[in-house]
């Protein structure tokens, strides 16, 4: 028996996936078994010798024209990606995330949301463009229905236009039960279906979209979850 009534009503679909929403439109949810992993924002995501966390082909380099959407171009030669000149990840490219710190230059790795340390969700382009789905920088909460593992998260990146929902950062995958998560081949995925609760327009409640420290991210997402009826109300939905 459900431990609380489901307060979410059927709202719309995306790629055949049902989305349900609260009547006041402050939260919506969906559940999916689809999982893909994003390394973008990590300082060691991509390397010219293809020894980074992810395959350089997934960043469009060197054989696609869209690589500047993922990799920071070299200011001295815009035909190639910028290579970190020093620091612990010298020699690696810099992989952007859509969410970033506007106060820092493009070539500062701290500008972006590190996929290895920050739990984040990726919005497919078409999903991001749908009315009501919210914005980059919005907060959410994810629950692994098979294991009970859960985590707050932030929407930090945009993916391919028509991709399925369920692409997440390495950090979010591991918080939901994944082990040694590998964006190259999908290994280490958390088992089971994941329930995602999103709080659209929650980014507008912050003076600055990014950065946001881990403790604040978690506290703000949990407060929004409680206002939406808590975990029990979400878990009651089918």
Residue 238 pLDDT more than 90?
no
In whole angstroms, what is the distance from residue 217 CA to residue 211 CA? 10
pLDDT reported for residue 5: 81
Q: What percent of the chain has pLDDT over 70?
A: 99
pTM score, whole prediction: 0.96
Q: What is the pLDDT of residue 4?
A: 72
Mark whether 69 and 83 lie in a shared domain. Answer: yes
pLDDT band at 64 (very low <50, low <70, confident <90, very high): very high
Same domain, 122 and 226: yes
Residue 68 has pLDDT above 50, yes or no: yes
**Chain centroid, CA 197 distance in Å:** 13
Q: Does residue 110 sit within a domain?
A: no
Question: 68 burial class (0-12, 13-18, 19+ CB within 10 angstroms)?
Answer: middle
Residues 175 and 64 in one domain: no
In a domain, 66, yes or no: yes
pLDDT confidence of residue 2? 45
Tens of pLDDT along 176-205? 999 999 999 999 999 999 999 999 999 999
Whether 119 and 139 share a structural domain: yes
**199 shares its domain with 144:** yes
236 close to 3: Cβ distance less than 8 angstroms: yes
Asked if the structure places residue 106 within a domain, the reply is no
Task: Indicate whether 196 and 141 sit together in one domain.
Answer: yes
**pLDDT for the residue numbered 237:** 87
In a domain, residue 105? The reply is no
The whole-angstrom separation of Cα 129 and Cα 9 is: 21
Three-class SS state of 216:
helix
Co-location of 125 and 196 in the same domain: yes
Q: Are residues 126 and 187 in the same domain?
A: yes
- 178 and 75 assigned to the same domain: no
Residue 123's Cα: distance from chain center in Å? 7
Q: Supply the pLDDT for residue 99.
A: 98
Residues 32 and 62 in one domain: no
Is 120 part of a structural domain of the chain?
A: yes
**Exposure string for 194-232, b = 16+ CB within 10 A, e = fewer:** bbbbbbbebbeeeeebbbbeeeebbebbbebbeebbebe
Is 191 part of any domain?
A: yes
Q: Find where tokens 């790795």 sit.
A: 109
DSSP state for residue 118 in the 8-state scheme:
S
Domain that holds residue 231: 9-38+115-235
pLDDT in tens, 112-168: 999 999 999 999 999 999 999 999 999 999 999 999 999 999 999 999 999 999 999
DSSP 128-185: HHSTTS--TT-EEEEEETTT--EEEEEEEEEE-TTPPS-EEEHHHHHHTT--S--TTT
Instruction: Establish if 108 belongs to a structural domain.
Output: no
214 in the same domain as 123:
yes
Give the pLDDT confidence score for residue 3 in this predicted structure: 59
Our count of domains for the chain comes to 2
Q: Is residue 104 part of a domain?
A: no
Answer whether 58's CB lies under 8 Å from 115's CB: no
CA-atom Rg of the chain in angstroms: 18
Residue 73: strand pairing partners: 81
Same domain, residue pair 60 and 124: no
Please check the confidence at residue 1 and state whether its pLDDT lies above 60: no
Name the domain boundary from 95, 129, 163. 95
What is the residue-averaged pLDDT of the chain? 96
Question: In whole angstroms, what is the distance from residue 15 CA to residue 165 CA?
Answer: 8
Torsion sign (Cα): 36, 40, 45, 49: positive
């Amino acid at each position: 028996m459900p431990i609380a009534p489901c307060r979410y009503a059927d709202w719309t679909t995306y790629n055949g996936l049902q989305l349900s929403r609260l009547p006041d439109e402050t939260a919506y949810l969906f559940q999916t078994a689809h999982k893909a992993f994003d390394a973008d924002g990590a300082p060691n995501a991509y390397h010219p010798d293809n020894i980074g966390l992810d395959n350089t082909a997934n960043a469009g380099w060197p054989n696609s024209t869209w690589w500047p959407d993922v990799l920071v171009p070299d200011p001295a030669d815009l035909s190639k990606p910028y290579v970190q000149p020093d620091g612990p990840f010298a020699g690696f490219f810099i992989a952007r995330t859509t969410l970033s710190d506007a106060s820092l230059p493009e070539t500062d790795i701290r500008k972006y949301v590190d996929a290895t340390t920050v739990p984040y969700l990726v919005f497919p382009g078409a999903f991001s463009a749908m009315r009501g789905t919210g914005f980059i920088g919005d907060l959410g909460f994810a629950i692994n229905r098979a294991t009970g593992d859960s985590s707050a998260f932030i929407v930090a990146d945009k993916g391919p236009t028509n991709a399925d929902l369920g692409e997440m950062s390495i950090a979010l995958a591991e918080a939901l039960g994944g082990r040694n998560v590998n964006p190259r081949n999908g290994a280490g995925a958390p088992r089971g279906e994941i329930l995602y609760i999103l709080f659209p327009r929650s980014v507008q409640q912050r003076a600055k979209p990014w950065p946001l420290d881990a403790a604040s991210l978690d506290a703000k997402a949990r407060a929004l979850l409680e206002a939406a009826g808590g975990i029990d109300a979400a878990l009651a939905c089918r």
